[in-house]
Structure 1
Amino acid sequence: MDSACSGMKCSSKFPPHIAEKTQKHPCYSAEAHQTYARMHLPVAPVCNIQCNYCNRKFDCVHESRPGVTSEILSPDAARHKFLWVKEKIDKLSVVGIAGPGDALANWQETKATIRLIQEIQPDIIFCLSTNGLLLPEYAQGIVDLGIHHVTVTCNAVNPEIGAKLYQHVNYNGQRLTGTEAARVLLENQLHGIEYLTNRGVMVKVNIVMVKDINDRHIPEVVKKVKELGVFITNIMPLIPAPGSNFEYWPQTSMKDINAMRDICQIDIQQMRHCKQCRADAVGLLGQDRSQEFRMCNLQQQKQAPIAAKPDKTPVKIAVATKYGKLVDLHFGHASEFQIYQGSGDEFTLLETRRVAKYCAGMPDCDTEESRREGIIDALRDCNAVLSMRIGYHAKERLRKKGIYSVESCDSVENGLHYAVEKLRKKEVI
């Protein structure tokens, strides 16, 4: 049975109102994922463990995997985004907090976000994703908030195997490595999972299948979490993330994933429609609209018509554009910038300045600090950078150099006017 709450398996253990909500949860119900939408709010940037397969890169919009987002939101900004998405997307049933770090390692932000949205729509389904390290500490808080769906990533129930998957664990002010790190993480995961399931919380366990490390061990993981009352497991393929320890590890094939799901289906129902969503995913599973619902787009929609401001001190703006007509490039994918100067009334194209790409996309992203710093330095004489999108890390580097980041999805001319207006009002970030 792949459908959530099929037959007596769900209704005999969980209250009817939780079972009813689960029918509308696209991750827990195979039928719901084609009808009901979800949104992830990226309010949790900090993580307390380092998995060998993870690199929390904020600025690669072409990547779709856990740990990736194009923006970090405050709880108040998350509230505004919820109102925006709720107005535009029908059948929005779930609000999830899935990083880009760990929901519990950012508990105050997570809790504040949930409470703000509960004030707007008390019946919305909330879902948290966590590595489980802090579950014993916050499990009762999860219950008190009325959260009935929690996903825990548990990749091994043998610390010797776990030690090959985790680089380190930060716990109680200590940095743990090796089998000790894996043991502490596992103990907390198992204790927290059992605590939640005993209090009516539906727990889904995610398992990342890594060839030659935990692939043969997964049936043991599934049997163990079944004993703890887990509702469903989700066996996922390794996606080798650039910059991670497993960057060059082979990606797990879906043939192997499905074969493992078939084996484990005997013990517990399997999720077979997972899309390994981004931390800022919006919409139906498989139809991510996260870039449409970026907060910079909302801010631009609310911007009043821009009046020309002559007689102002000229500013210099670097524009990321393919052909010089539209602001249509992500900052990280621009190999050249058009440098304009003007005061808001008229602009002059001074030059086209070539640079190395800050990020060429998933296959070519790297973490070479000196190269990226050189790109920022090449724009040091500019007051602002105008691009279609820009990632968190790049934005911070520019800000530290006194260069403002402005995002626009318009013509170059309109984008320049918009950028100058933002500069004048000091609204750029």
Structure 2
Amino acid sequence: MNVISLADHKPIGSFFSDCRAENVVHLPVAPRIVGRTRFSPPPPASNQYITVPEAIEILHKAMATPEHEITMAAISGPGDPLVTPELTLALISKIKELYPRLKVGIKTYGIGSDKMATALAKAGLHYVEIQVDAMRSELLERLYAWIRPGHKTLKISDAAPLLITEQRHGVAALKFHEIKVCIQTTLFPGYNIDRVSKIAREMGELGADAIALIPHVTAAESDIHLESPTAEEMEDATRQARKYLPVVTPLFSPETTQSTCTGVQAPIQNIYPKPTQERPNVAVVSSTGMEVDLHLGHAGKFLIYGPREDGLPCLLESRNAPAPGKGKERWLEVAEILKDCFVLLVASAGDTPRTLLAEAGLKILTTDDAIEGIVDVLYGGGKKGKCKKK
């Protein structure tokens, strides 16, 4: 597909001249998913996202890496950053406090962007990539299985026009505050691939700076299979869109973030926590002792893994978990019980324990893997061999 670099278009080139994928650090902090197309796999029981302290740690490490000059911090998720506005605004402000010259971007469906535009601009947001797959509600109703503007999933016939209205108002509001806006459109053959020019025209009239076109790819776990667009279809869509907006390579895409609405962001696999002298052990919640299969809130005990004398990681002991019903105090007790652990492996966990335990120095990783395998990875990826029961 013939696309142009963001740097090649004069109106936006001064901003994007050095914002290429390799110069962007992705911070997947947003937990709540806004929507799912009919062709996407079902969301997992738990989504892998990180807390604000963990995001700042990723950023510090990225900024200290000499291989790439980081020019943008990109806030994304498995979810949508604008669904949790306090978290997103706090992270933007913290990034700008620590690195004033660093640009900050977000990927969103745009719900709430109109009301939040002023606060986002004041916090220091530079760039927004908005997912816009259709400008007519009847088409969105065919494309999407569900849309959840807030805590409640609406009927698709009610949610689709709401999403379109929010996107239209949001683009105009963001541009009023001189925030760069790129429209990202996923192309679905037989649905919206012949509507690209309409999307580009309407978004361009509202002030959008560019559009990025992403070919749909059906995941293996999807219930409904839809063929990807051909190269010829992508070329034609690009020609149609270019009549109204520059067609650019997105900064947020499955390739750059390792994420769709149900995916896991690339940075997570690069920042597995490591044991330290003060915190040499791993805590696990499990009902079987074989797999990580419990929600943190349901844990009655913690399995403690750590290195034995020969260095191999093994099950050392189990510790009782505090009883539920204590609110925040419960998680402070967990932090004390696991003060010698550098990570806690769970099947899922709520926002409150994630935040409180991270602040206490204990990271939570969500997984459904076998305990032995993930523990082995955390201690060096199999280099020391497998632990065998004595």
TM-score normalised by L of structure 1: 0.62
Closer, same or farther: CA 271–342 of 1 in aligned 2, 3 Å: closer
Residue in structure 1 matched with residue 30 of structure 2 by the alignment:
44
> Which of residues 318, 333, 344 in structure 1 aligns to 2:308?
344
2:192 maps to amino acid: N
Deviations, residues 343-389 of structure 1 (Å, cap 9, x unaligned): 82369999xxxxxxxxxxxxxxxxxxxxxxxxxxxxxxxxxxxxxxx
Deviations, residues 128-183 of structure 1 (Å, cap 9, x unaligned): 11011222232222111121210100111111111111222223565322332211
Residue in structure 2 matched with residue 338 of structure 1 by the alignment:
none
1:99 maps to amino acid: G
Residue in structure 2 matched with residue 125 of structure 1 by the alignment:
103
Deviations, residues 62-101 of structure 1 (Å, cap 9, x unaligned): xxxxxx98x4211011111111121124211111012111
Residue in structure 1 matched with residue 132 of structure 2 by the alignment:
154
Cα distance, 1:398 vs structure 2: 6.3
> Which of residues 229, 232, 245 in structure 2 aligns to 1:252?
229
1:76 aligns with 2:53: yes
SS in 2 for 1:155: coil
| In structure 2, distance between residues paired with 1:219 and 1:391 | 46
Structure 1 runs of 4+ with >6 Å offset = 304-307, 316-319, 347-350, 401-404
> Which of residues 16, 23, 40 in structure 2 aligns to 1:54?
40
SS in 1 for 2:83: coil
Cα distance, 1:25 vs structure 2: 1.6
Closer, same or farther: CA 143–349 of 1 in aligned 2, 3 Å: closer
| In structure 2, distance between residues paired with 1:106 and 1:279 | 23
| In structure 2, distance between residues paired with 1:174 and 1:342 | 42
Residue in structure 2 matched with residue 87 of structure 1 by the alignment:
64
- Indicate conservation of the 8 Å contact 1:95/1:127, yes or no: yes
1:22 maps to amino acid: F
Closer, same or farther: CA 127–261 of 1 in aligned 2, 3 Å: same
| In structure 1, distance between residues paired with 2:313 and 2:106 | 49
1:409 maps to amino acid: G
- Indicate conservation of the 8 Å contact 2:52/2:91, yes or no: yes
| In structure 1, distance between residues paired with 2:247 and 2:139 | 22
- Indicate conservation of the 8 Å contact 2:107/2:252, yes or no: no
Question: Identity of counterpart residues, as a percentage?
Answer: 16
Residue in structure 1 matched with residue 4 of structure 2 by the alignment:
2
SS in 1 for 2:148: strand
Closer, same or farther: CA 83–128 of 1 in aligned 2, 3 Å: same
Deviations, residues 164-220 of structure 1 (Å, cap 9, x unaligned): 112222235653223322111100110011111122111000011101011111111
Deviations, residues 237-282 of structure 1 (Å, cap 9, x unaligned): 1121344454x11122343222211222121100147782368569
- Indicate conservation of the 8 Å contact 2:171/2:181, yes or no: yes
Residue in structure 1 matched with residue 248 of structure 2 by the alignment:
271
Deviations, residues 304-356 of structure 1 (Å, cap 9, x unaligned): 7979xxxxxxxx9869xxxxxxxxxxxxxxxxxxxxx9982369999xxxxxx
1:136 aligns with 2:114: yes
| In structure 2, distance between residues paired with 1:414 and 1:304 | 23
Residue in structure 2 matched with residue 223 of structure 1 by the alignment:
201
1:408 aligns with 2:379: yes
SS in 2 for 1:171: coil
- Indicate conservation of the 8 Å contact 2:175/2:207, yes or no: yes
> Which of residues 173, 182, 185 in structure 2 aligns to 1:195?
173
- Indicate conservation of the 8 Å contact 2:24/2:70, yes or no: yes
| In structure 1, distance between residues paired with 2:223 and 2:206 | 31
SS in 1 for 2:71: strand
1:265 maps to amino acid: R
RMSD after superposition:
4.1
- Indicate conservation of the 8 Å contact 1:168/1:175, yes or no: yes
- Indicate conservation of the 8 Å contact 1:126/1:148, yes or no: yes
Residue in structure 2 matched with residue 332 of structure 1 by the alignment:
none
Residue in structure 1 matched with residue 15 of structure 2 by the alignment:
21
| In structure 2, distance between residues paired with 1:209 and 1:177 | 24
Structure 2 residue runs without a partner (length 5+): 260-264, 282-287, 292-304, 315-344, 350-364
2:25 maps to amino acid: M
Q: How does 1:170-319 map to 2 (within 5 A)?
A: 170-171=148-149, 174-246=152-224, 248-272=225-249, 276-277=253-254, 280=257, 290=267, 293-296=270-273, 299-300=274-275, 302=276
TM-score normalised by L of structure 2: 0.68
- Indicate conservation of the 8 Å contact 1:2/1:270, yes or no: yes
1:163 maps to amino acid: E
- Indicate conservation of the 8 Å contact 2:35/2:144, yes or no: yes
- Indicate conservation of the 8 Å contact 2:313/2:379, yes or no: no
Q: How does 1:381-400 map to 2 (within 5 A)?
A: 396=366
More displaced 10-residue stretch of structure 1: 171-180 or 130-139:
171-180
